[in-house]
Structure formats: C-alpha cells, structure tokens
Structure 1
C-alpha cells in the first residue's frame, strides 16, 4: 500500500492537473464573445466549435479506458497532459474559423483522459472515503471555470484570447513532467477492504469477459443512461451562461464578475459536500449515493427555474438564487463516480468510467449546438431553461430507479473481492 505521503502527493498533482486543464477547457466560455467577434460568426457556428471537441472526446473515451486498464496509468496521464498543451497551442495560432473549429476539436483528445486518474484514486483510497476525495478533485471544475473567467476578464482585453491559450497550453506541458516524475502506479484493487490485512496481493489484468459483464449490471446501465442526459445542463451552462449574462441580461464585466464569483465558490463547495453526504449515507445503505444525487438534481432544477425568471434589474436577488442553485447541482457528480467504482472490479474501472463518460459526452456533445440553435430562434434564457430542466427531471427518475438496483450490484462486488482475498490467503499459506 502506498504511504500516505505518496497518496497525497498524487492527489495534489491531480488537483493541479485538473484545475489547470479545466481552466483551459472552460476558458473558451468567457472568451466566447471575443472569439465570435474576431471570426464574425453566429451563435450556431460558435456552438459547433464547442460541439467539435465534445464529439472527439466522446469517441476517444473507450480507447482511453481500455489503455488505462491495460497499461501504466500514470504514464498515460502524463501523455494526455502533453497532448493538452500542444493542441491548445494549435488553437492559439488558428488563422480562420475553419482552422479554429478543427484545432478546438483536437483538444478533445485529452479531455477524455480522466478515467485513468479516477482509477488511480480508487487504488489509493478505499470505498468509504472515495466520495470525499472525488469531491475534492471535482472542486477543480468550478475553480477552473473561475480561473478561466478571471483570466478572460483581466487579460483578454490586454493580451488577447490567443495569448491566454499560449499560457494555459504551456502549463499542460509542465504538468506532464510533474506527473511523469512524481505519480506512482499502485496495484489495482489494493485499497479494497478485503485486501486490507494481506501482505501481498496478485496482479489482476484487464479481461474482455469482465469488461463485457459491465453492461449486465442494472445500476451501471442506469447510470450510463442518466449520464447521457446529465451533462447536457453542464455544457449549456459552461459554454453559454457567460454570454447569457452579457447579452440577455445586459450585465457589464464588473457585474458579471460580482455575480459569478460567489456562485462559483458555492458551486465548488457543493462537490465535497455532496461527496461527503454520499459517503455518510452510503455507510447506512448502498442506496445512499443515489438518494443524495436525486435530491441534488431536483432541488437544483427548481431553484434554477426561479433564478432565470428574476427580472433583469433585480441583480441582487438573481445572485442570491443563483448561489442557492449552485450549491445543489454538483451533488450528483462525486456520487455517480463513486457508485461506478462501488460495483466494478478494479481491473476494469477505467473502462467502466470511460463508458460512463462516453455516454455523457455523446449526449452532451450536441448540447452547445442545440442551445445555439434555440438561442438564435428564441433566446439564450429559453435554451438554458428548456435543456437544464428537462435533463434534470429525467436524471431524478433514473437515480431513483438506480437506488432500487444498486444494493445487489454492490453485494456482488463484495463477494467477488472476498473470494479473491480468500484465494490470496490460501496461496500465501501454500507457499
């Protein structure tokens, strides 16, 4: 088992990687208006820019998952960080709209690299605390967006959006070196409670039969379907909310900053809070994570409806309701990921996560484009509300159904791990 120091070095390197990568990935949202003005494009055309990277990432998720389950995860993650840096540079030098669409699409290659990172964490920390760790790491999504927004507002008008992409791309290369040098690859499954008192454990490798069995688990199938709809709201909000505040509500840059900073900070708190609540309730019942997820999406949907219908001149009330919405909508994220690992064998966890992410990305890849089309026909407010409320209503139903099936799938995994532990003890005694 890696030392506590080794584990936390990996966690903080991953935190830095995800923070800067998310900042680079989400930076385009605050820069949307500047980019549209330079290339003289419509909202539908800008939606195609967002969608291109999402489609590339979606297609490559299964490949990344397979690679992570077969080869050294830390080395592959370092490669992904290097690809992030290079493809971001390509975006910075794109001379025309067509080249910009292609270069932004290429950034999707590394966007699908997270399954290996989460798999590594599952072998550093046991199931009783994973929700907290995933919640901690997922702080990087709102913080990354906040960092990107600050960079866009403070530097966009001074050095231009292209120079900002040069900066974030260079950081990707620096992180690649850090991951390569300092992150260690633990044995798969070593953090499972059944292996806690074993001096040595065997090496378990990816098998196609085990991977195929993933789609036979009812709880996983439901989470995959939920994922198809669940990321629609996130991509619409990520890529279009900044433009909505500027164009539909008429907010100046200072007002946007004052409104968004507290909302993003509270959104960030929702990740570890949701993960901690999920861990707490999971100790009482295997259904706990699904219950927390369902509570988060339904409360978030109701609050978003009231938020978006606040009159434009009532900026204070809008900010308060936006902050309240932001607290609940991340609850599901760390719990969905933890549930995937609660029911899958260690040697196929990257594949399971990749299948979830593939489902999410296929569904959400069209979300920015659909939002752009709706916005051109009606308004950005209509696009954000229609997509978010319908998607979260479906997710609420899927989480409740998942809660029905997940105890059986958790029990199956625990029996499998107990059998492996018994086999390891027998082999050690025979030796």
Structure 2
C-alpha cells in the first residue's frame, strides 16, 4: 500500500525529478489551447440578447446557456485533474480538445434552446480540461522562481482569446448569426491538436487514486482556503462580468457596441499580465494581490453608480488588471500547496473558480431581468472587498507558516 501523503509538507512534483535546463515560458501549443478555451468561454456574453431573441427565450433563460457551461466546466475539474496526474497532461489535453471540437460543432448546429444548453454543457466539460491542464503543465515544467511569470504569459494568451471573443461576438452575432461564433472554437481546437502533436509529457509522480487524491487535497487547510477564495473570485469576476454587456444593451446599445466595451477587459488583462514579471521581482505576493483586488472593488463600484459605456469600459479595464494580478497570484499559490498532487490541486482550484462563476451568473439572472443593475453591481463590489481582505490576509499567513 502506498503510504499516506503529508498534508502540507513540500513534496517533489513531476518536474522536480527532471534534469537539465527547464523552460521559463509555456509552449506555443499550450498557449494556443488556452487561447481557444478562453475564446469559447467569453464569446457567449455579447450573444445572450441576440441568442434569446433568435430562439424566442427570455434573457434569464438564455443565461442558462452560460450558466450550465460554467457548471459543467467547473464540476468536471477534479476528474480532469486526477486523470492528468495518472495519465499525463498532454494526453488529457488532446482528449479534451478532440471532445471540444465535436461538441462545439453540435452547439453551432443546435436547433433550439434545450439542445443548445445540452451541447454547451458538453462543450464546457471538454474545454474545462484545457486551462487547468495548461496551468498544471507549467507547474510541472517551469521552475518556481519563473512560474508566476510563465503563468502570466499563459494568461496573456487567455486574455487575447477573451478580447477577440468579446469584440467579435456582438458584431458577428448581429450580422452573420450566433452560430458562427460557436463554430470558430472547434476549428481552433483542431489546430491546437496539430500544434501539440509530438509534445512529450513531463515525468509523473506515483499515481494516486481519484478518491484518495481528492480527499487528501481537501484535508489541507490551505487548499480549502484557496478554494473558497477562488469560488468567490469566480462569482464576482467571471460570473458578473458576463452581465456587463447585457447591462449596456438594457440601456439601448446594440450588441456590437456592448461587446466592444467589454472587450477592453481582455486588452487590459493582456497589458497588465506583462507587468506581472517586473512587479513580482519588486513586490511581495500579498501586495500584488492587494493591488489587483483594489481594481476589482473600484470597477464594480463605478458601474454601481451608473451604467454607461464609460463606466463599463472602466470596470472592464479594472477587472482585467484584477485578473492579471490577483488571479495569477491565486494560481501560483494553488500550484505550490500540494506539489505531489498538483494536477488535483489545480483541478479543484479551477472547479471552485467556475462553480463560483456559474453561481454568480445564475444568481444574477433575476436582477438582470428586472434591470436592477445598481443593486447588483453594488453588492458585487461589497463582496469583492471582503474577498480581497481575506485573500491578502490568508496569503500572508501561509507565507509565515512552517
């Protein structure tokens, strides 16, 4: 029988057994896969009103297309993580890309809302295996001092996917139709498969059973704290971010303008992520988290006061800053807590993130239908303030712990 794993003691991860020089940036194929997953995830927000009109549904019903995607994306993470610990990162990423290509095409061809929701749920299952596996792969192959920067580089690819999706979705949805936006990611997934062909897996630690891996991770107090923090982050960042474009459309703006306004989030994430390396050399991680969190609170406070193109762009820019600084700090923390179960730890991290985003989106549906934007964004700003204080305090306590 394999002896039990210590709960928090440092343990060698897969990359710690490798010899020779190791990279300090993610491979292009991994970054491209992260880009594709992000593009698929963020294309839906500017399409919600167009999609609801085309399929004869209410906005709250159309929000289910995003909500079930996030739920499927999040709740399958522990399975992806433990499978990647057992079978390898690249093998799982290829399986996920192939599945996403098939179910993505089904999404584009769905004849009604019910089948679209089912197809998007399946697409969320497969695209859910991409970014967490990429994060784990970076954790396996990039040494600790360079890991935060490498995660920021991968975040740049995610940000480009976010910006392009949100900028193009509204225009394409209004001119060509929402189906084209759902057809683009499957094609990109096939290109990703070609880019990853021949990419070797790093050496794996001794396999651990699914249930044992999860229970070991969940028995670690720092892992539990990270999961609570990232669940809340998912709700207030990704979940409510989905409502920025509909909030503008509720003011009478068209989907193209609303999509372009929210696209500033991706551009801000891209620019801000380039600042992570120099900031990490000069500032402690709790300070970086505090700086990122300040943008989160200020962004939602702006749209709580008044919803307009100017305040939505401001909020989107500040949320991009938050995502680059606060989220990558939480990512790096998750890769450090349980090195021998890194895939499981990152999967639980991602599961919490996207479960939170689904809860945030679905809980906001009634407020969106009623047009209660100031109340929604005001409550979000208050929750965000609590999140930032808890994250900074928790990270400082972890750094001081033996």
Contact 2:265 2:316 in 1 (8 A): yes
Q: What is the aligned residue count? A: 383
Answering whether residue 118 of structure 2 is matched by residue 115 of structure 1, we say: no
Q: Please give the root-mean-square deviation of Cα atoms over the aligned residues, in Å.
A: 2.8
Asked if residue 352 in structure 1 is aligned to residue 368 in structure 2, the reply is no
For 1:226, what is the secondary structure of its paired residue? helix
Unaligned residue ranges in structure 2 (runs of 5+): 1-17
Indicate if the aligned counterparts of 1:371 and 1:384 stay in contact, CA closer than 8 A. no
> In the TM superposition, what is the alpha-carbon distance from 1:318 to its structure 2 partner?
6.2
2:178 is equivalent to residue 173 of structure 1: no
More displaced, 250-259 or 38-47?
A: 250-259
Structure 2: distance between partners of 1:328 and 1:82: 32
Paired residue for 2:364, among 353, 359, 371?
Answer: 371
Question: Alignment partner for residue 156 of structure 1, among 136, 159, 173?
Answer: 173
Q: Which residue of 2 aligns with 1:427?
A: none
Q: CA shift at 1:85, angstroms?
A: 1.0
Conservation of the 8 A alpha-carbon contact between 2:39 and 2:162: yes
- Please say which structure displays the higher CA radius of gyration: 1
* Aligned counterpart, 2:331: 337
1:423 match: none
CA–CA distance in structure 1, aligned partners of residues 271 and 75 of structure 2 = 31
Please state if 1:47 is matched with 2:41: no
Displacement of 1:26: 1.3
Counterpart CA distance in 1 for 2:311 and 2:355 is 36
- Deviations 1:311-346 (Å, cap 9, x if unpaired)? 74xx5576456535543453111111111222222x
CA–CA distance in structure 1, aligned partners of residues 213 and 57 of structure 2:
47
TM-score by length of 1: 0.80
The correspondence of residues 25-424 of structure 1 with structure 2, limited to 5 A, is 25-113=41-129, 114-179=131-196, 181-188=197-204, 204-206=206-208, 212-248=215-251, 250-252=252-254, 255-256=257-258, 259-274=261-276, 276-278=278-280, 280-281=282-283, 288-310=284-306, 312=308, 319=313, 323-324=317-318, 326-345=320-339, 347-386=340-379, 388-407=380-399, 411=402
How has the CA–CA distance of structure 1 residues 104 and 298 changed in structure 2, closer, same or farther, with 3 Å as cutoff? Answer: same
| Matched-pair contact (CA < 8 Å) for 2:302–2:311 | no
* Residues 367 and 127 of structure 1, relative CA distance in 2, 3 Å threshold: same
CA distance in 2, matches of 1:258, 1:63: 36
**How far did 1:131 drift?**
0.8
Separation in 2, partners of 1:108, 1:340: 22
Distance verdict in 2 for CA 1:218–1:61, change over 3 Å: same
Separation of aligned partners in 2, 1:14 and 1:294: 29
Q: Distance in 1 between matches of 2:59 and 2:99?
A: 28
- The residue aligned with 2:13 is none
Q: 1:56 to 1:362 in 2, by over 3 A?
A: same
- How far apart, CA to CA, are the structure 2 residues paired with 1:222 and 1:166? 38
State the shift of 1:4 in Å.
6.9
Sort the Cα spacing of 1:376 and 1:262 in 2 relative to 1 into closer, same or farther, 3 A: closer
Cα offset for 1:95? Answer: 0.9
Aligned CA distance change for structure 1 residues 255 and 50 (closer, same or farther; 3 Å): closer
SS of 2:202's equivalent in the other structure is: coil
Judge which range, 257-266 or 160-169, deviates more: 257-266
| CA shift for structure 1 position 378 | 4.1
Change (3 A) 1:37 1:311: closer
In 2, the alpha carbon distance for the partners of 1:157 and 1:28 equals 13
Distance 1:237 1:141 in 2: 18
**Contact 2:97 / 2:193 at 8 angstroms: preserved in 1?**
yes
Is the 1:278–1:335 contact (alpha carbons within 8 Å) kept by the matching residues of 2? no
C-alpha distance in structure 2 between counterparts of 1:238 and 1:48, whole Å: 15
